[in-house]
Amino acid sequence: MNLLDATHDPALRSWVESANAADTDFPIQNLPYGRFRRAGSDEPWRIGVAIGDQVLDLKLAAEQCPWGESVAGLLQPLAEGNLNSFMALGAPARRTLRAALSAALAAGSEQGPFLELCLVPQAAVQMALPCQIGDYTDFYTGIHHAVTVGKLFRPDNPLLPNYKWVPIGYHGRVSSIGVSGQVVQRPHGQTLAPGAAEPTFGPCKRLDYELELGIFVGAGNALGQPKTMEQAEADWFGLVLLNDWSARDIQAWEYQPLGPFLAKNFASTVSPWIVTQEALAPYRAAFERPAEDPQPLPYLSSAFNSAAGALDVTLEVWLATALMPTPQKLMQSNFRDAYWTVAQLLTHHSSGGCNLQPGDLLGSGTISGPMAGQGGSLLELSNGGKAPITLASGETRTFLQDGDTVILRAFCSAPGRARIALGQAAGTVRG
């Protein structure tokens, strides 16, 4: 299957000059969707497309620019600020609108003079969550994270035997998901201090982040009718960055036998722009399992998944502190190292009959790299709090302090392909 078309041409240029900069997150080959309004206004939220340092306002674009009939129909729910309705339409709608937006934003387009009037600088907008999130599930596909953390929690038994057979996950909470810029209140909770006989209640002492990707479901499935791998591959809409803030001391005390609860539900932060799977098509990669590992069961296997189910997305964590306002990069990893692909997560989630719905959010789990220093959480980088890391400011950290700002970033780049980035998910801890 050839997933690439004219919209991926690395030579394509836009009449929006900032979209042609080599280091922009949002070149014309990206075209991610977000929900915005002009900063300081109380106008209704509307859907826009990021292009360079601008936002194309799809409400204005629908009203003020000539479009073909099929495209005008697709723009209607977006003009009303409803991304979920568009997500539900699946792959054909995504591809049709992508082609139309790419042509309209391309240098020399006859629609350019109309759309110039529909641009808003990103610096002048406020972003909301990109869609209405119905349900949120967090998976655990980062095997390097699972092994390292497993050693800390269970030295004798780091990786439980089910890990290589079944995608592990838990149902999370939607109400506390916020968009980049979120202020995260340090949670209080019940913890058991080392050596103590009884727990106490108080502020979290081991506050952490988790470097994850968030997968938005596009077209859903009816209750009792699981997705096949082929349907799942067509039906995921796109990716955002996801910080699954975690209270490690609360987690360690509460997590058995039913898994994470209050240690995870006080905040989660996503980046504002959903990068569609079409934009990521040039960065698909083979899904490979080590020879000694079990191959996925048939319901989680497909020829396409083996050939191109994985994604080559570089992930980074940056940290700024009250004393160090310029962020410092803490680590880098790659989503290719995930143990399961996006299609496998949707397929498995629906395999018992669970109905996924447009706008549902699936977290990838913390994506750590295989090497020391590639942990996607402070729990890993500080070896469970035993080995503080030293920052450029001379400060040290085992876990987060009040005033710390965690910034997740992600991008795809390769010779001969346009750079595609996800922007950032930033959040600041408040005591």
Q: To 5 degrees, how large is the angle CA 265–CA 221–CA 77? A: 80
Sole window of 207-215, 333-341, 371-379, 392-400 interacting with Mn ion (rule: CB under 5 A) = 207-215
d(CA 353, CA 330): 40
Q: Distance from CA of residue 248 to its chain's centroid?
A: 22
Sole window of 72-80, 146-154, 193-201, 209-217 interacting with Mn ion (rule: CB under 5 A) = 209-217
Judged by beta carbon, residue 138 or residue 249, the one nearer Mn ion is: 138
| Residue of this chain nearest to Mn ion (CB atom) | 244
DSSP state of 297: P
Contacts of 118 (CB under 8 A, 6+ apart): 56, 57, 60, 61, 64, 65
DSSP state of 14: B
Judged by beta carbon, residue 221 or residue 268, the one nearer Mn ion is: 268
Interacting positions 136-175 with Mn ion (CB under 5 A): 138
Judged by beta carbon, residue 220 or residue 369, the one nearer Mn ion is: 369
Among 244, 249, 316, 360, binds Mn ion (CB under 5 A): 244
145 is catalytic: yes
- CB atoms closer than 10 angstroms to residue 299: 14
Q: How far is the CB of 336 from Mn ion (least distance, A)?
A: 19
Q: How far is the CB of 242 from Mn ion (least distance, A)?
A: 8
Binding of residue 380 to Mn ion (CB under 5 A): no
* DSSP helix, strand, coil percent of the chain (3-state; round to 5): 25, 30, 45
Judged by beta carbon, residue 367 or residue 421, the one nearer Mn ion is: 367
CA nearest neighbour of 245 among 270, 261, 269, 213: 269
Tokens representing residue 407 in the block: 């910034």
Is the separation of the CB atoms in 232 and 392 below 8 Å?
no
Binding of residue 210 to Mn ion (CB under 5 A): yes
Give the active site residue among 8, 145, 348, 349: 145
Residue 231: C-alpha distances to residues 98, 238, 299 (Å): 20, 15, 12
Interacting positions 57-96 with Mn ion (CB under 5 A): none
Judged by beta carbon, residue 244 or residue 380, the one nearer Mn ion is: 244
Q: Distance from CA of residue 420 to its chain's centroid?
A: 14
Binding-residue total with Mn ion (CB under 5 A): 3
Judged by beta carbon, residue 172 or residue 296, the one nearer Mn ion is: 172
Contacts of 117 (CB under 8 A, 6+ apart): 60, 64
Q: How far is the CB of 235 from Mn ion (least distance, A)?
A: 23
Sole window of 65-73, 243-251, 289-297, 320-328 interacting with Mn ion (rule: CB under 5 A) = 243-251
Contacts of 132 (CB under 8 A, 6+ apart): 84, 359
Q: How far is the CB of 417 from Mn ion (least distance, A)?
A: 30
Q: How far is the CB of 63 from Mn ion (least distance, A)?
A: 41
Q: How far is the CB of 212 from Mn ion (least distance, A)?
A: 6
Residues forming the active site? 145
- The footprint of Mn ion (CB under 5 A) covers 138, 210, 244
